[in-house]
Amino acid sequence: MALPKRQHSRQRSRKRRTHWKLRVANFSHCPQCKKPIISHRVCPFCGHYKGKPIIELKAKKEKKKKKP
Ligand SMILES: [Zn+2]
Q: Give the distance (Å) from ligand 1 centre to CA of residue 24.
A: 21
Domain span at residue 29 reads: 25-57
Mean pLDDT, contiguous 10-residue spans, the chain (68 residues): 93 96 88 89 89 78 63
| pLDDT for res 59 | 67
For residue 12, being part of any structural domain is answered with no
Confirm whether 36 is domain-assigned. yes
What separation in Å is there between the alpha carbon of 35 and the centre of ligand 1? 6
The reported pLDDT for the residue numbered 24 is 87
Q: How far is the CA of 37 from the centre of ligand 1 (A)?
A: 8
17 located within any domain: no
Considering its fold, how many domains does the chain have in total?
A: 1
C-beta separation of 43 from 49 below 8 A: yes
Provide the whole-model pTM. 0.49
Output the CA 38–ligand 1 centroid distance in Å. 11
Q: What is the dihedral of CA 9, 14, 20, 22, to 10 degrees?
A: 150
| 25 Cα: distance to centroid of ligand 1 (angstroms) | 18
pLDDT score recorded for residue 52: 84
